[in-house]
Structure 1
Amino acid sequence: MTGSLGVALEELDLPSADLGVHTGLAGFGDAWLTGRSEGRLRYAEEGGFLFVSAVVPPSVRYAEAVRALYAELFALTKRVGYPTICRLWHYIGRINGTTADGLETYRDFCVGRALAFEEVGATMPAASAVGSAHEGVSVCLLATRAGALTAIENPLQVPAYRYPGQHGPKSPSFSRATYLRQDAGGTLFLSGTASILGHETAHPGDLAGQLATTFGNVEAVVHERNLARHGVDAGFGLADFDRVTAYVRHADDLAAVEASCRAAFGAGTAVRLLRADLCRSDLLVEVEGVIT
């Protein structure tokens, strides 16, 4: 690594492979986990950024274990001097399955994450949560020493942390994007974005409709008018993304999603595709990305 955020994010990108063979997390290990270990937390520092990885072992329920892990993550970032958490990634085994209490695994995970954020009152960063063929919950975190972080919401969507109770006992704890302003410039981290309008899934079962709505949501988040509402003096379009990752529920849809992403984002954006289950069983595709 050279210490630049751009290089760091290149190394953070998951390779173009099915999460079912877990190459995504193997890629993280190859790039980052040559640093230190503290209990179950493994972390590396470079160029003012901290990357941490940890795993919650397989269980019949996850809320309390996820809450405890988040407490450890918050304590570590504070102790080693990286107080600003920019981005989180989560890989959840049986994400649409059910726990011993009959709660969907993702919703059970959201309970633990929400409790942790309630305890510390931290800004909710950009985040993604997708399925993994491996059991348990893997969490990856990117934090920084310095800079002003602004949480960005989408005018077309209810903030995830304000979802009504039909989506689970605790709402998902993340912002639609975060904008990090540092002396060297700004970086926008786009959360996993899907075909949701308000708080409901749009176009269930319709891949083309979900792709169009997803791209519309991305545009709404990064547009100059929306960023200005959040006090950010910047504005972007789809072509400004350095890289995007699309998570696709059905392998048969990979080619169509890739073609649509390349047409929407343009030749200047690196596009990666992964087959993964998503946080709602009626979602077919989710897109995340970075603008540096």
Structure 2
Amino acid sequence: MTGTLDAPAEELELQSSDLGVHTGLTGFGDAWLAGTAEGRLRYTERDGFLFVSAVVPPSVRYAEAVRALYIELFALTKRAGYPTICRLWHYLGDINGPTVDGLEVYRDFCVGRALAFEEVPAAMPPASAVGSAHEGVTVCLLATRTGRLTTIENPTQVPAYRYPAEHGPKPPSFSRAGYLDRPEGGMLFLSGTASITGHRTAHPGDLDGQLDVTFSTIASVVHGRNLARHGIRAHYGLGDFDRVTAYVRHAADLAAVDAACRVAFGTRTVVRLHRANLCRSELLVEVEGVIS
């Protein structure tokens, strides 16, 4: 299945329906569409999970509005009794374009997100941030009432929250993956993963090279050796993913990315593709997924 991320309703329904596959939240997407509104936050609860969404309207800059929204999200999860945020998704209009101050929209967004984590210190959960044809910033959050989330980094990459200043005034605030340990069984949430080695883009302009690095990086993140470094007793390979979503910058590359993903992840994994701009202008593809 392919599509373009062109409206918040489509994006939110996409992610909530995806979650139904992995968490047993049958009909979760429909429940969200009929969920509770609290100010600008919309949310629904199901089987120990809380799914929240909100939109920051189009603006000439976003840092302060994103910071304020994150503070609202933190407060809601605490008030509602879902203390563990296990996944975040972000959809940014004109993600690679400039704000009125000349700062790239994605980097401006990262400033606001980082300020929120500084104000309310918390573990940085796995996350994705991709472009949308819709203006503004849409944020989706998944939190859980039970279970413990262990955030996971990758030995081949600098932690995103430690990126040097060449990547923006504030580094991105997320972990490479997160393992949710709960009585019903463990779940691994993979952040949006792209062709980045250390903190720099590998193979700019080379789709095949970027796919190779992306798949290798994902394998490294979920391998038992890496998980053991984080105190997690589990071991996974690419074929263990229930579902992956690939975001592809150029529509002409969709078929090639689809074919590569199906070879890399195998027949067990459901593969979805969407045409979307990415957080670095030189990145051509980004992949996220869940193992349950």
Same-fold call, TM > 0.5?
yes
One-letter identity of the residue aligned with 1:254: L
Deviation by residue 1:229-284 (Cα, 9 ceiling, x = unmatched): 00000010000000000000000000000000000000000000000000000000
Cα gap change, 1:59/1:246 in structure 2, threshold over 3 Å: closer, same or farther? same
Q: Within 5 Å, give how 1:28-177 maps onto structure 2.
A: 28=16, 30=30, 32-177=32-177
Deviation at 1:104, TM superposition (A): 0.2
Pairing 1:24–2:11 present: yes
Structure 1 segments unaligned to the other structure (5+ residues): 1-14
In the alignment, the residues of structure 1 paired with residue 221 and residue 72 of structure 2 have an alpha-carbon distance, to the nearest angstrom, of 31
Deviation at 1:132, TM superposition (A): 0.2
In the alignment, the residues of structure 1 paired with residue 184 and residue 138 of structure 2 have an alpha-carbon distance, to the nearest angstrom, of 31
Deviation by residue 1:195-229 (Cα, 9 ceiling, x = unmatched): 00000000000000000000000000000000000
Percent of aligned pairs with the same amino acid: 75
Deviation by residue 1:27-52 (Cα, 9 ceiling, x = unmatched): 45645231211100000000000000
Deviation at 1:26, TM superposition (A): 4.8
- The aligned counterpart of 1:4 is none
Checking the alignment, whether the CA contact within 8 Å between 2:97 and 2:104 is kept in structure 1 is yes
The alignment yields a C-alpha RMSD, in angstroms, of 1.1
One-letter identity of the residue aligned with 1:284: L
Checking the alignment, whether the CA contact within 8 Å between 1:239 and 1:266 is kept in structure 2 is yes
Describe the SS at the equivalent of 2:139.
Answer: strand
Cα gap change, 1:33/1:265 in structure 2, threshold over 3 Å: closer, same or farther? same
One-letter identity of the residue aligned with 1:20: D
Deviation at 1:71, TM superposition (A): 0.3
Checking the alignment, whether the CA contact within 8 Å between 2:6 and 2:132 is kept in structure 1 is yes
Describe the SS at the equivalent of 2:6.
Answer: helix
Deviation at 1:20, TM superposition (A): 2.9
One-letter identity of the residue aligned with 2:6: G
Pairing 1:223–2:209 present: no
- The aligned counterpart of 2:232 is 232
One-letter identity of the residue aligned with 2:11: G
In the alignment, the residues of structure 1 paired with residue 33 and residue 153 of structure 2 have an alpha-carbon distance, to the nearest angstrom, of 32
Describe the SS at the equivalent of 1:208.
Answer: helix
Deviation by residue 1:105-130 (Cα, 9 ceiling, x = unmatched): 00000000000011111100000000
Describe the SS at the equivalent of 2:3.
Answer: coil
One-letter identity of the residue aligned with 2:12: L
TM-score by length of 2: 0.93
Deviation by residue 1:81-103 (Cα, 9 ceiling, x = unmatched): 00100000000000000000000
In the alignment, the residues of structure 1 paired with residue 5 and residue 38 of structure 2 have an alpha-carbon distance, to the nearest angstrom, of 26
Count of aligned residue pairs for this structure pair: 278
In the alignment, the residues of structure 2 paired with residue 260 and residue 119 of structure 1 have an alpha-carbon distance, to the nearest angstrom, of 41
Deviation at 1:21, TM superposition (A): 5.5
Deviation at 1:25, TM superposition (A): 3.3
Checking the alignment, whether the CA contact within 8 Å between 2:92 and 2:106 is kept in structure 1 is yes
In the alignment, the residues of structure 2 paired with residue 181 and residue 208 of structure 1 have an alpha-carbon distance, to the nearest angstrom, of 35
Checking the alignment, whether the CA contact within 8 Å between 1:17 and 1:24 is kept in structure 2 is no
Deviation at 1:191, TM superposition (A): 0.1
Pairing 1:286–2:257 present: no
Describe the SS at the equivalent of 2:256.
Answer: helix
Checking the alignment, whether the CA contact within 8 Å between 1:82 and 1:144 is kept in structure 2 is yes
In the alignment, the residues of structure 1 paired with residue 2 and residue 40 of structure 2 have an alpha-carbon distance, to the nearest angstrom, of 27
Deviation at 1:159, TM superposition (A): 0.1
Deviation at 1:184, TM superposition (A): 1.2
Deviation by residue 1:108-156 (Cα, 9 ceiling, x = unmatched): 0000000001111110000000000000000000000011110000100
Checking the alignment, whether the CA contact within 8 Å between 2:203 and 2:210 is kept in structure 1 is yes
Describe the SS at the equivalent of 2:113.
Answer: helix
Deviation at 1:24, TM superposition (A): 2.5
In the alignment, the residues of structure 2 paired with residue 157 and residue 93 of structure 1 have an alpha-carbon distance, to the nearest angstrom, of 27
Describe the SS at the equivalent of 1:43.
Answer: strand
Structure 2 segments unaligned to the other structure (5+ residues): 17-28
Checking the alignment, whether the CA contact within 8 Å between 1:245 and 1:273 is kept in structure 2 is yes
- The aligned counterpart of 1:11 is none
Cα gap change, 1:121/1:58 in structure 2, threshold over 3 Å: closer, same or farther? same
Q: Which moved more, 1:274-283 or 1:16-25?
A: 16-25
Deviation at 1:287, TM superposition (A): 0.1
